[in-house]
Structure 1
């Protein structure tokens, strides 16, 4: 199974059909169903249900294509969200089923990306992520693919990678914007909401679920979430890294460090955390022009070469208390879910360690969550790449089941 849902293309697929761009101006007098976060929506493409059934059948995914009965129209939207006390414009792709039936909503959060080309609003229409989301919409669901802050319309900002509050609020405001679009188009929508995502998208999904339970979300009733393979305990993720001699995705470390320095306005230079020449160069790697693999090629996978040895040795000492505080603040371990959450992780995953999910699941149960509410499914033999397909099959079948209950 290709790791196509995280941004790789389905090479054998051809684009079928096209449509003219069309602006949708929000009709404020009709938008009473949600907070008004929508700025603009542009219709970009329509795809027949039959094509989507064919695409998914060819993908090898074990999902029920007979449920894909509606043609789907894609929109790019921009919407308002908050970033460090300011209102900014973010972006997302919305897939809408062409139906007069009442629809529910799914927000699917993507995995780690570093380049603008990988953002959902910049993906080719033949990309597997776009095709899968469209297929899901074809079953009668509104499907949202948020870019996240730092990509698309907000590409001039540094992405707040693994920052809980900015991640959750940007997802929530994108969901509100989708509801406003649906209202403008006079579609019928209910209050049922699902959240899903893999890798960083798993973290974003759990962070948003936590936000909905603790803060609330107007006009929506979260029915279930499906986080998979995320580093939910950020502090434990750091501790895992520091037990290794080498790590095959060193850009993850650089990403977190530079994102936290930017988000929290740390005065410390990056040479506090990294050795030269990497410390001086890292800030230039996250300008949206380079993918994660390209950044990896510019860094060392030997942690003793990449990281400042004083930081490795003293990460839990008072001198680095601000780092530990940020890791703990963004770790999703201090809450008790009461709405169903289906967790997944491959037990052969060494990119985002399987044990991180195992331990977070145990902490949530210890916090008082019911095992009937929070479940954990091991994707047997799944690596960070090969676990994607089984996860998609599991969560899609669960959503179909819940929608039919």
Structure 2
């Protein structure tokens, strides 16, 4: 996925994991989605924002200055209440709120000083920097300066909840904290006097693309009175989890490169966060996997050398019915009808999250009656289409205001 994957460099595992202080041990009960606190962390003018967007020239996009807030809210993690955070970007001089939720791509939960730090990509930590925070600066700030209010959840496992394991690619679990952040954001908007009519635009890149499309489904099914999904727009997301896994396992005896760690972490999370599974990891892996870091830093980039043969065989032939139930539940490329529009963006030379994810989602959701547009970028890779995504999404969302 859009990854800062240190495993590619063959680093040994003498790394510093994010702070493990227990911040949520004894919380007074509050309803999920309660806004605990908000902090005004600063303001950027339109010209400052244009200077901080460094992946393309955004001077013809930025219009408004933006105030950025850290939002703390109540959610749940594995059945227990916790507080999590996100970043809220509010444009100046806009009386009507048009709300975008942006779900960020893959961040490895490590801090390695100047070499790599998840803290420097976690949205709520943003304080107006002109480096790091790639998605916050180049995507979210661009849209906020164009007039949208943008909320970016940190995700469980980062920021305030860095002591917890991240539900990577377990989208039904990931959604819980993300929707609670949106409910808290709605409270903030209502408290601050801006007109808001419940419409929401969803977006995300890579892992966040999957979070975007899954949230589209989950919100319209579970929270239709709180939010109306106007549109979702995802870049290079793993929408077809079943097809994606099938393609990787079809190459099980080959070096699949960066996908090895992505795939392994996803298997670990689907197992941990799905009540049907929760299997001992020695039933899944050929090597000791006591935690998510061990799943990320695989000893081999060949899947058949890291996963148990019988686990692979029963996924391939579909006879592991409980695992297939979980995989199908986290597949969003078919079987439901989106309310609102769906925009999919993908480079057809993407070797990280394969193009077939968007192609099959276009086919499957259109067949189910959805209004789906697929932007195919010829020759585009996983990381090459950020500007096209930002500009095309902004045009599409503006047309739906």
Same fold (TM over 0.5): yes
Aligned length: 358
The answer to whether the aligner puts 1:168 opposite 2:187 as a matched pair is no
Q: Which runs of 5+ in 2 are unaligned?
A: 6-30, 110-117
Instruction: Tell me the equivalent position of 1:226.
Output: 233
1:247 alignment partner, one of 238, 252, 256: 256
Give yes or no for contact 2:101–2:202 (8 Å, CA) kept in 1.
yes
CA distance in 1, matches of 2:32, 2:164: 24
2:42 alignment partner, one of 30, 45, 51: 45
CA distance in 1, matches of 2:399, 2:170: 32
CA distance in 1, matches of 2:230, 2:314: 43
The answer to whether the aligner puts 1:129 opposite 2:145 as a matched pair is no
CA distance in 2, matches of 1:94, 1:54: 20
CA distance in 1, matches of 2:64, 2:32: 28
Tell me how far 1:307 sits from its aligned partner.
Answer: 2.1
CA distance in 1, matches of 2:33, 2:248: 42
TM-score by length of 1: 0.80
The answer to whether the aligner puts 1:380 opposite 2:378 as a matched pair is yes
The correspondence of residues 10-25 of structure 1 with structure 2, limited to 5 A, is none
1:271 alignment partner, one of 282, 286, 293: 282
Closer, same or farther: CA 358–299 of 1 in aligned 2, 3 Å: same
Give yes or no for contact 1:346–1:387 (8 Å, CA) kept in 2.
yes
Instruction: Tell me the equivalent position of 1:256.
Output: 266
CA distance in 1, matches of 2:235, 2:124: 23
Deviations 1:91-149 (A, max 9, x none): 10111112252221111110112224232223563233222322321222211111112
Give yes or no for contact 2:265–2:292 (8 Å, CA) kept in 1.
no
The answer to whether the aligner puts 1:199 opposite 2:206 as a matched pair is yes
Instruction: Tell me the equivalent position of 2:352.
Output: 351
Corresponding residue SS for 2:383 = coil
Tell me how far 1:173 sits from its aligned partner.
Answer: 1.9
2:55 alignment partner, one of 56, 59, 71: 59
Closer, same or farther: CA 359–36 of 1 in aligned 2, 3 Å: closer
CA distance in 1, matches of 2:294, 2:224: 36
CA distance in 2, matches of 1:271, 1:36: 37
Instruction: Tell me the equivalent position of 1:334.
Output: 335
Q: Which moved more, 1:84-93 or 1:200-209?
A: 84-93
Give yes or no for contact 2:33–2:181 (8 Å, CA) kept in 1.
no
TM-score by length of 2: 0.81
Give yes or no for contact 2:94–2:147 (8 Å, CA) kept in 1.
no
Q: Which runs of 5+ in 1 are unaligned?
A: 9-33, 287-294
Instruction: Tell me the equivalent position of 2:123.
Output: 120
Instruction: Tell me the equivalent position of 1:101.
Output: 95
Deviations 1:223-260 (A, max 9, x none): 21102211112111111111111211211122112212
Corresponding residue SS for 2:73 = strand
CA distance in 1, matches of 2:222, 2:289: 39
Instruction: Tell me the equivalent position of 2:224.
Output: 217
CA distance in 2, matches of 1:113, 1:392: 20
